[in-house]
Amino acid sequence: VQLQASGGGLVQAGGSLRLSCAASGRTFSSYALGWFRQAPGKEREFVAAISWSGGSTDYADSVKGRFTISRDNAVYLQMNSLKPEDTAVYYCAADRDRGSVVRGTARYWGQGTLVTVSS
């Protein structure tokens, strides 16, 4: 079972990026999915989560109004109005329990994709 994140890159402040995370080895249609990030020298932090149905979402205060999480057979993170402080390695996560995703104790994790926002 693997989660594969992609879409990271270098962008100027105020720009946009769209991250994607797809699963291989099993289907995650009944799983809550989410995104975390870890900046250099900092702890990993929650970014956003979405329920298995897509009907409920959660966001960190720092990204509300700028980032949007969505899903179909994969999970996406549309990031707009990017700031230099959004620079981090972004990870996707999956668990049957959305609370576990939000708390950072999800069962499945993908490798990270680096987002760098220049000022």
Tens digit of each residue's pLDDT (9 = 90 or more) over 2-30: 899 999 999 999 999 999 999 887 788 89
What's the CA gap between 26 and 39, in Å, rounded? 29
Q: In this predicted model, which residue has the larger pLDDT, 43 or 26?
A: 43
- Average pLDDT of the residues in 49-69: 97
Can you give the pLDDT at residue 25?
Answer: 75
Q: Quote the mean pLDDT of the chain.
A: 95
- Average pLDDT of the residues in 79-85: 98
Can you give the C-alpha Rg of the chain in angstroms?
A: 13
Amino acid (one-letter) located at 1: V
Can you give the pLDDT at residue 26?
Answer: 75
Structure tokens given for 117: 């926002």
Structure tokens given for 21: 């995370």
Can you give the pLDDT at residue 1?
Answer: 64
With pLDDT > 70 as the criterion, what percentage of the chain qualifies? 99
Task: Supply the DSSP string of 66-94, one letter for each residue.
Answer: TEEEEESSEEEEEE-S--GGG-EEEEEEE
Give bridge partners of residue 36 from the DSSP assignment.
46, 91
With pLDDT > 90 as the criterion, what percentage of the chain qualifies? 91
pLDDT band at 41 (very low <50, low <70, confident <90, very high): very high
Q: In this predicted model, which residue has the larger pLDDT, 89 or 25?
A: 89
